[in-house]
Amino acid sequence: MYSERLLEHFQNPRNVGDLAAPAVTVEARNPACGDILRLAARFEGGVAVEVRYKVRGCTAAIAAGSALTEWIEGRSRAEIAAFAPGVVDEAVGGLPPASRHAAALCAEAVRLLLAERG
């Protein structure tokens, strides 16, 4: 059901945790399934130099959050603004149709992150 890459991100999630201020921290929620993704990023010169996440959710949400942090780190705000759910889908080797909500949750977290100043 899940790809090898998705399971790898689930079993060995990257960048789990919180960041202290002045990092920007946002929380995205999926009211339909109850998943919650907290995303934190510290920017220097408009570039995400450190990214962390915590998630309460399904296997796909955990894996997607992990892949998202790897994708964001080192990118500028302008590059991050180009994020689309397909980025996460590709990074985890494909999400099953019933798990695509995890990529949508990531997209919402990115939208909230970019709306904040930090």
- pLDDT per position as a tens digit, 11-51: 999 999 999 989 999 999 998 889 999 999 999 999 999 99
- pLDDT per position as a tens digit, 52-94: 999 999 999 999 999 999 999 999 999 999 999 999 999 999 9
- Please say if the pLDDT value at position 118 is more than 90: no
pLDDT for position 1? 85
For the segment(s) 4-115, the CATH number from 3.40.190.10, 3.90.1010.10, 3.30.1490.20, 3.90.1150.10 is: 3.90.1010.10
Taking a C-beta distance cutoff of 8 angstroms, is the pair 113, 50 a contact? no
pTM: 0.94
The residues with which 47 forms a beta bridge, in sequence order, are: 44, 76
108: region left, alpha or beta (phi > 0 left; psi from -120 to 50 alpha): alpha
